[in-house]
Amino acid sequence: MSKFSYNVTSDDAGYSVKEILRRNFSFSARLMTKFKKNDCILLNGKAVRVNVVPDSGDIINIDFPDEKSDFIPQDIPIIPVYEDNDLLIINKPAGYIVHPTKGHPAHTIANGLSRYMAKTGQVFKIRFVNRLDMDTSGLLVIAKNAHCQDEIVKQMQGKNVQKKYTAVVCGILENDEGTIDAPIGKSNDEAVARGVTPSGCPSVTRYTTLKRFKSGYSLAELSLETGRTHQIRVHMSHIGHPIVGDRLYGGERIWLIERQALHASSISFFHPMTGEHIEVSIDLPDDMIDLLNKLK
C-alpha cells in the first residue's frame, strides 16, 4: 500500500486538513473523494474528517486504498530497474504487448505484472504511465496509485519528463543533430500505420547522430517533444531513414534484426510523492548489440 505523510507547520495555522492538502498538493477531486470514502486520511494515526483543523507539529498521513487489477498471472519476463512503494520501472523486452487488447487478450506485460505482484507479495492496480510498441524494448513506467499516474502525466504535459530512445536507422544521417516537425495522423480509424499528413496532430522529434557505419546505417539518439503513436518510427521514415527492422514503415531488414531496432533507453522526472529527481537509464538489449556488431 502506498503511503503519504505531511508534517503540519505554522504556515498551515487555521486551515483544515482538506485545505492543507489542497494548498500544498494536487490530489485530484476524484482521489480525495476516494480517500474520504475509505477513511484513508489520518491525523496523528487516527482517521479524521477533512474539516478538522490540526495543530502545528501534527502529522497527516494518507494510506492509499488497496486496488488491484484482474489480469491473469502469466510467466512473462518482468525486469525491474527501479521500484519503491509508489512506482515500478521495468525493462520491457521486445515482443510483448503492454496491455491486453481485443487482438492480444493475454501474454502481455500486464499479465506478467500480475504474476510479479503475486511473487513479491504486492497488490496494486496496474497503471501504465507510458506505452511502448510490441517490438520496442526499454523503460516502461508503472504507477502503483492514481496520484502518481496523474502527477507524471501532468509532468509530461508540462514537458518535464525527459525520455530518450536509441535507434539504428537505414542510411547515413547527414546532420549531427536535427529536428523533425511534421504532423502525424492516419488515413482512417481502422488503419494501423500512421503517416505525416497536414491534418495530423502536431509532432516534434529531435535526434542526435551517435555513429555512422560505412555499411550504410546510422546509430541515433532521439527525444520526443510530443507523444504520438509510432512517432519516432513515422518521423524517421518520413525523412528517408526508417528504423532498421521496421516492417510497417519501410525498414525491414530481417537478416539484420527481427524487429524494429528501437529502444527506450532513459527517462527522468520528479517523483510524485517525494519531489526527488528520478533518472533511470539502461543498456541496449542483446539483439541491438548484435546488430551493431554486424554493421561494423
**Catalytic residue IDs:** 133
DSSP letters, 139-176, are EEEEESSHHHHHHHHHHHHTT--EEEEEEEEES---SS
What single DSSP character describes residue 59? E
Three-state secondary structure of 100-118: CCCCCCCCCHHHHHHHHHH
Query: Amino acid identity of 185?
Result: G
- Other Cβ atoms closer than 10 A to 178: 16
Q: Copy the grid coordinates of residue 57.
A: 507539529
User: What is the rounded radius of gyration, in angstroms, for the C-alpha atoms of the chain?
Assistant: 22
CA–CA separation, 126 and 149 (whole Å): 10
Which helix (H) or strand (E) segment holds residue 282: the answer is none
